[in-house]
Amino acid sequence: MRIGNVDLGDKPVMLAPMEDVTDQSFRQICREQGADMVYTEFVSADALVRSVNSTLRKLNISDAERPAAIQIYGKDIDSMTEAAKIAEAAHPEVIDINFGCPVKKVAGKGAGAGMLRNIPLMLAITRAVVNAVKVPVTVKTRLGWDADSKIIVELAEQLQDCGIQALTIHGRTRAQLYTGEADWTLIGKVKANPRMHIPIIGNGDITTPQKLADYYNRYGVDGVMVGRAAIGAPWIFREMKQFLADGTIPEISNRNKMQLLRRQITESIDRIDEYRGILHIRRHLAATPLFKGIPNFRETRIAMLQAATYEQLNEILNYVESHFLQ
């Protein structure tokens, strides 16, 4: 699969853009574990244009994490085209437009999945961004606004006509948020449409190597994007890539998994500061499958997620590793 000049090979597995998750450290770790391409946290076009420092920092991409895409979102043509130019200056391999975020603070204001209620503006923004930059532009969106407006088959053609070079589709409507199961049926129909010639990337509920392989075979997509299943488990890319290659799942020791989590903690602290770095990493610690199934773990888990200093957190992790993860 190719996006512009970026060759991602056969059946690539990508790290999805996730707010407060896909920071630079996590992206690099996921690349090391086998992710074929990574995406930044979504970046507000308005904040980029206003040169908000915290937003500008999201544009930093290291050589070790490439190929990488910067994802932007917004609700008007001028700010989105200007933001795309600013993002291009950070030299990403791809600029991705977010037309899929369902959360109220984004979609409720007309951005993200909110654009699914204003297709003419969505297409105008897409066309303008494509024309504003030289790097490949892609789009990530959903099936439609709700169950009565699943428009993705027609919309995919319209977006392709705007000049995008790949399309990622999450298998839910905006109304579903993240409830229920992702429906890949329409993703498969988009891929099967003979008028489509750009790569189609499927997204939604790919949680195991086995499901990844099954959905590749069932729906014929060009690529798959993995999101929530990677939170607290960056090694899932190593498992998925090996399973696609030979049908086996590598044995990754609990000690190695813990080392990856510890690395995220220290790099998060180094990047921000001790207190906020620990706050940032809590989502990974809460979600990681590494601690699932440990008997009577509730009190330890609460203490781990309430730790306010690196010393406290490290002491708890040392205890967990020595008592439960041998």
> What distances in angstroms separate CA 56 from CA 88, 135, 141, one per listed residue?
12, 19, 24
Predicted pLDDT at 262: 97
Joined tokens for residue 206: 């790919």
Collapsing DSSP to helix, strand or coil, 126 comes out as helix
Predicted pLDDT at 92: 98
**Active site residue ranges:** 101
Rounded to the nearest 10 degrees, the angle between the axes of helix 185-192 and helix 209-219 is 40
Q: Pairing mode, if any, of strands 6-7 and 200-203?
A: unpaired
Joined tokens for residue 282: 């809590």
Tokens 């998750």 belong to 21
Alpha helices of the chain — where are they, by DSSP H?
A: 24-32, 45-49, 53-56, 77-88, 104-107, 119-132, 152-161, 185-192, 209-219, 236-246, 254-271, 274-287, 298-306, 310-324
> What distances in angstroms separate CA 116 from CA 28, 75, 167, one per listed residue?
32, 11, 15
DSSP notation for 269-296: HHHS-HHHHHHHHHHHHHH-GGGTT-TT
Joined tokens for residue 296: 């009577």
**Cβ distance 41 to 18 under 8 Å?**
yes
Low-confidence ranges of the chain (pLDDT < 50): none
pLDDT tens-digit map of 109-153: 999 999 999 999 999 999 999 999 999 999 999 999 999 999 999
Predicted pLDDT at 324: 86
Predicted pLDDT at 103: 93
Domain map of the chain by residue range?
2-241, 254-324
**Cβ distance 116 to 126 under 8 Å?**
no
DSSP 109: T
3-state SS of 54-87 is HHHHHHCCCHHHCCEEEEEECCCHHHHHHHHHHH
Whether domain 2-241 has CATH 3.20.20.70: yes
